[in-house]
Amino acid sequence: MIKPHGSDTLNPRFVYDTEKHHQLVREAESLPSLLLNSAAAANAVMLGAGYFNPLEGYMNLADALSVAKDMRTDNGLFWPVPILNLTRESGIETGQRIALRDPNVEGEPVLAIMDVEAVEAVTDDQLQSMARDIFGTLDPEHPGVATFTGLGNTLLSGPIEVLNFSYFQDDFPDTFRTAVEIRNEIQERGWEKVVAFQTRNPMHRAHEELCRMALERLDADGVVVHMLLGKLKEGDIPAPVRDACIRKMVEVYFPKNTVMVTGYGFDMLYAGPREAVLHAVFRQNMGATHLIVGRDHAGVGDYYGPFDAQAIFDERVPADALEIDIFRADHTAYSKKLNKVVMMKEAPDHDKDDFVLLSGTKVRQMLSEGIAPPPEFSRPEVAQILMDYYQSQNK
> Rounded distance, CA 51 to CA 116, Å?
22
Catalytic residue check, 201? yes
Candidates 189, 200, 247, 364; catalytic one: 200
Contact present, 97 and 116 (Cβ < 8 Å):
yes
Is 257 annotated as catalytic?
no
From 72, 201, 212, 328, active-site residue: 201
- Which active-site residues does the annotation give? 200-201
